[in-house]
Chains A and B, each alone.
Chain A
Amino acid sequence: MHDPIRAGLAAGWKHVDASTLGKGQTVEADVVIVGSGAGGGVTADILSAAGLRVILVEEGPLRSSTDFRMRESDAYPELYQDSAARKTADKAINILQGRCVGGSTTVNWTSSFRTPPEVLAYWQRHFGLRQLSAEAMSSWFAVMEHKLWVRPWETPPNQNNRVLGSGAEKLGIPIDAIRRNVKGCWNLGYCGMGCPTNAKQSMLLTAIPAALNRGATLYTRLRAERLRFSGGRISALDCMALRPDGIHPSGKRVQLRARHFVSAAGAIGSPALLLRSGVPDPHRLLGKRTFLHPVVISSALMPERVDAYAGAPQTLYSDFFLQQAAIDGPLGFKLETPPLHPVLYATTLQGFGAAHQALMREFTRVNVILALLRDGFNPESQGGQVRLGRDGLPVLDYPLGEVIWEAARRALLAMAEIQFAAGARAVTPVHETAPLYSSWAQAKKGIAELPLKPLLCRVVSAHVMGGCGMADAPQRGVVDHRGRHFWLGNLSVLDGSVFPTSLGANPQLSIYGLVARNASLLAADLSGRPPPLIP
């Protein structure tokens, strides 16, 4: 398999693995971008195309198809935040988030949704983001869909998705197909461990190589520590090199100077960087309203083999339960499926000893459905808060209150009903005291009475949003609709942290589209050229 990243490095890309630095250094560029995920990747591509000298800073390592061996034991420690075990402060929510070049786009499951029009309309009404209409944004989504090969997925869904599809169909619940950003996908099912065939059109394979081909510099194993500013302008970013283990600081420091700074460290990393730097925050908004699409999980034993580890992981979904109430009413939820691999499933599954083993023995016959709760619209759903722990590293508090549990119960019921309709022999919500229900009637009664509390009911997340919310005024947001910081003239935030609510959809395409717009506006500002024609 040709590895375009290794080929690019051999051809002379400027990549500095900071863990190999023998001494500290100071470097200058036009723009410094912190983070190489969906936000940082698109920004680096667009700014470098405008002729700007760009430095991209990534805390994780540079890994590529040669390294992607489809083994959980390699992939989680190498490619994820905290070995795929990042957690909220109370440990009640496990967060899957990338930590490598390409960020979460390197390890996501390729699901591609535009920001739903009702979400943009809500932002216009409640946060004064009148510029971000569905019409204005549509061309930006179209540009990125074209660039990243977002297409309908023509291959038949794997059996895990088919269970969701057939159960929903029997109940009259509409199901749709998920579009995916892949080119020549082999339908292997190991997207979460890095695509071994270079089919996934992640930042790692698209925007970042484009920027490196134009002379951008990529630093890896380099942690952005603090922005230095005075008089409303940032002068430098102080960074700390990590050792080859990617965990311990090496003691070497790198200072990056530039005209403009972009924070694209994600919805936990960006607020943390700004908090550490002590940037002006007179309205105390920084780090607040962090959203997770809290996910609850239902596991079913099917009569036939499901082999949920094989085949494209997410190809069918239902938004039916997002549409049953007003957007700010009781929380709606999106239904999707996850891939199942032994470590991911065994650690997520409740219980231990013989009971756990009995379920694991059925591993190949297990179907799992996920419900992603749409947080941040109901007035009771204020999300979480990023604050700084010891060492200045981020800690996320996310209280799971009644408004979440009410929706979680509806979601667990809906998923169990779908699984039984699809022919499940037994269903269990992933919950410490839930038994295996053997009929829908039994599940309906059982789930209605299940105590739903943090750490009893398993909650996970793969979508982190908010914390540097955008709005029309500094009383209501950290940045404006272009991602420009309200108080520091040469700081932009270009990632999912600017979303003022969650999305009710997997976020990658929402980040690509908004950042394509905002990086294009920034490129025009910095290069003195006219702004792009698309709005």
Chain B
Amino acid sequence: MRLSRRQFIKTGLAGGLLLSFAGWLNAAGGRQLSSGEREMLAAICGALLDGALPPAGDERRRLVALTVDGIGTTIAGLSLASQREIGELFGLLVSAPGRMALAGVGRPWREATVGEVSEFLQSWRTSRLTLLQGAYGALHDLSFGAWYARPDTWEAIAYPGPPRGNF
């Protein structure tokens, strides 16, 4: 599978393009993340934010879900061109062949471990294919952006928040 990765990306992207058109372009006025996308993003947030999240449990699940909600909101605020590109990326990642061949993650996203997902993210981060590096960058920025946009994450980094007062 790994040997044919470059080939897969070429055909996969074209396929992803078609797939995503169906979902993303009838997104008149903002579109909800699908449950498959939410599972994929939850797995990715679990790895990216591993240092910031509490250990496995309900609280961790709750915070991951909040972050995934935040990612959905962020995407809905991007230009249509960016939304389309992200739709293509997500379309590939939620498909089983995309997840296995492109990300190298064998198990469905909801079963993947932090270690497995981290390995995939690390391989994209330093990939020789700029397409994958750029995709890693998008996942990185969306996840950390959604996390630190929430005031309840600020205490851990000793950020007091914006000044309060009579404005």
Contact = CB atoms under 8 A, between A and B. Distances in A.
A134 interface: no
A525 interface: no
Contact of A73 (B126, B137, B149): B149
A248 B28 contact: yes
Contacts of B162: 69-71, 188, 190
A454 interface: yes
A131 interface: no
Contacts of A433: 126
Nearest to B27: A248
A247 B49 CA distance: 29
A398 interface: no
B59 interface: no
Interface stretch (B34-42, B93-101, B153-161): B153-161
B126 A389 contact: no
Contacts of B82: 82, 85
A358 interface: yes
Interface stretch (A168-176, A208-216, A323-331, A339-347): A339-347
B56 interface: no
A1 B81 contact: no
B144 to A, nearest CB: 4
Given A354-B51, A432-B125, A455-B137, A92 B130 contact: yes
Nearest to B132: A455
B29 A352 contact: no
B14 interface: no
A70 B74 CA distance: 17
A245 B156 CA distance: 33
B63 interface: no
A133 interface: no
Interface string A217-244: 0000000000000000000000000010
A353 interface: yes
B20 to A, nearest CB: 13
A391 B85 CA distance: 14
B78 interface: yes
A20 interface: no
Given A343-B148, A343-B149, A455-B137, A353 B48 contact: yes
A357 interface: yes
A349 B147 CA distance: 14
B47 interface: yes
A425 interface: no
- For A77, A243, A455, the residue with the greatest tally of chain B CB atoms inside 10 Å of its CB is A455
B79 A393 contact: yes
A356 B51 contact: yes
Given A248-B80, A343-B149, A363 B157 contact: yes
Nearest to B143: A352
Nearest to B128: A453
Nearest to A196: B167
A483 B43 CA distance: 52
Contacts of B159: 309, 342, 363-364
A455 B130 contact: yes
A484 B145 CA distance: 42
Contacts of A247: 76-80, 83
Contacts of A349: 144
A91 B137 contact: yes
B118 interface: yes
A85 B78 contact: yes
B157 A393 contact: no
A266 to B, nearest CB: 15
A83 B70 CA distance: 13
B163 interface: yes
Nearest to A77: B77
- For A92, A343, A454, the residue with the greatest tally of chain B CB atoms inside 10 Å of its CB is A343
10 shortest interchain CB distances as A-B pairs: A357-B51, A70-B162, A91-B134, A77-B77, A342-B148, A73-B149, A363-B157, A455-B133, A354-B51, A346-B144
Given A77-B77, A347-B144, A391-B80, 6 more contacts: A90-B134, A347-B140, A352-B140, A352-B144, A353-B51, A357-B51
Interface of A: 1, 65, 69-73, 77, 81-83, 85, 90-92, 188, 190, 196-197, 243, 245, 247-248, 309, 342-343, 346-347, 349, 352-358, 360-361, 363-364, 389-391, 393, 395, 432-433, 454-456
20 contacts: A71-B149, A72-B149, A81-B79, A90-B130, A90-B134, A91-B137, A92-B130, A245-B77, A342-B149, A346-B147, A347-B140, A347-B148, A352-B49, A354-B51, A363-B158, A363-B159, A390-B81, A393-B80, A455-B137, A456-B126
